[in-house]
Amino acid sequence: CTRRGRRRRRRTTIALLLGLVSQQARVASPLSATRPSSHSVPKQHKQTPASPRRAEKNNNDAARVVVVGGGASGTFAAIAAKRAAPRADVVLVESGATGLRKVLASGGGRCNVMHAFEDGQDGDDLRRFLELHYPRGRRELRGPMAARFGPREARRFFEDDLGVALKTEADGRVFPTTDDSRTIADALERAAHDAGVQTLYSWPVAGVRQSGCCPEHARSFVVARSNGNDVIEADAVVLATGSAKAGYAMARALGADVAPPYPSLFSFRTIRSEKHAAILDARLAGVVVKDATVALEGLDQSPSKKIAPQRGPLLVTHRGVSGPAALKLSAFAAEALRDSEYRGALVVNLVPGVDDVRAALQRYRRDHAAGVVANDKKRPFADRLPARLWAALARVVVGDDTIRWGDLDNKQLGALAIACSALRVPFAGRDANKDEFVTAGGVRLNQLDPKTMQAKRLPGLFFCGELLDIDAVTGGFNFQACWTTGHLAGTGAAQHALLAAAAAAS
């Protein structure tokens, strides 16, 4: 193909996007932003494209970025791309009738938008922040979060650029002060709209391919709609398809190495037929231990793969155990649990921090000899163990609801101490966590430029969000990965598209 031929084809290429009634407003600077009130953002601006042959002519000489996927990372990438290249066409395509569905569902409808990382914390703090909360991707995220777009930048973006008031709760989770996830979704949609991002809903993508030097295509990539008729040409493409199977297939078709996806962040279904597991059964559903340590027994515990116990609140459910401690353990042990087919045993310390549980019970026996062991009103560790849980422990372990502390022999006391500090809870199966929807696996990070999330083998192709082999524990950390990688991918895609368009024009 000659340069003259490419110019002629570019002049005659028909614009592929419909629904734009007027020219989109241009942003004066990549750093400038409208600051809407979180209470006055508009609803989604739907644009439904028709056939490209009937499309209105767009700026066909401008650089073009197409972002596939209108979730958290995709919307963030589109905003970043448009701000980095205000004169470029940035198109966000989403298969559903609306976008940001996980944002709206997260945090019980409140949207745990991120986790706090305060000013004054340094690089060592960031390293520990990542090690404690990111089972996969922590090493690759450290540089981008430290030098480009981390938790502090994300908070400034939402508060200063978008005008969303945020609050930090005692455990470090950050929410909008409205306690309404619609506040975050509306603010992101408004930012994309005001920047000039062209958003196309109900536009499922069948595939992305390189255009090569085909006579009918003047750009590097072609994004094809699943109806078989509509296509969009692009100088750069960002895949932000989350955990959708179609996204993994697209990535593989373009040469990406994808780690097989598997669940992360789930609760454990306990086996109630065994004695100690019956303690944490449906009769205690809703009971919360505010501070517990949960570890795995019987899985691969070699030094290189040792899975650390996780500490935090523990919730008894109708089917087993959940809560932050169990969920964190499921994330860090996701691969080992997958390989074990989700069968094994938990070891639960219900009183972490108590140095010698047996000695503490011996002292209690001495001081309360006339009291009934199963009494749920006067009991040891009353500030740690809920009354219903202590009564169940005493009933199952001691086997006598009426026995007094003075009649409790050393063997029974020892068994009670073990139940408090090393309760063995067999499990078989898992249940999804309803507040966060997280998948481990995805596009392997070693084949991407960590500064831009661009594929090393295919310039112009970028990835972000849950499609990557990055996942984190509950608490806003997964959204932070979306904001960081979305910013990197969107900015990198815009810069690549500008260079590609300039090279084609010359």
pLDDT in tens, 112-122: 999 999 766 66
CB 136 within 8 A of CB 10: no
pLDDT in tens, 322-363: 999 999 999 999 999 999 999 999 999 999 999 999 999 999
CB 108 within 8 A of CB 435: yes
DSSP-derived 3-state class of residue 429:
strand
Position 275 confidence tier, pLDDT thresholds 50, 70, 90: low
Q: How far apart are the first and last CA of the chain?
A: 14
pLDDT in tens, 290-320: 999 999 997 655 555 679 999 999 999 999 9
Instruction: Please name the residues in contact with 208: beta carbons below 8 A apart, sequence gap of 6 or more.
Output: 68, 221, 222, 223, 224, 237, 239, 250, 253, 254, 461
Q: Does position 502 have pLDDT exceeding 70, yes or no?
A: yes
Q: Provide the mean pLDDT of the chain.
A: 86
Place of tokens 């955990």: 243
The pLDDT > 90 percentage for the chain reads: 75
pLDDT in tens, 198-231: 999 999 999 999 987 554 556 899 999 998 889 9
The pLDDT > 70 percentage for the chain reads: 83
Burial status of residue 170 (CB atoms within 10 A of its CB: 0-12, 13-18, 19 or more)? exposed
pLDDT at 306: 79
- Which one, of 54, 96, 85, 95, lies nearest residue 234 by Cα? 85
pLDDT at 273: 67
Sheet with 64-68, edge to edge strand ranges: 198-200, 89-93, 64-68, 236-239, 461-463, 454-455, 448-449
Mean pLDDT of 268-284: 79
Burial status of residue 336 (CB atoms within 10 A of its CB: 0-12, 13-18, 19 or more)? middle
- Of 16-20, 72-76, 157-161, 410-414, the least confident: 16-20
d(CA 39, CA 310): 39
Phi and psi (nearest 5°) for 500? -65, -40
Question: 278 is written with which tokens?
Answer: 């019956």
Count CB neighbours of 204 within 10 A: 14
DSSP-derived 3-state class of residue 427:
strand
The overall longest dimension of the chain from CA atoms, in Å, is 100
Among positive and negative, which fits the CA dihedral 427, 433, 436, 442?
positive
Rg (CA), the chain: 27
Q: Whole-model pTM?
A: 0.84
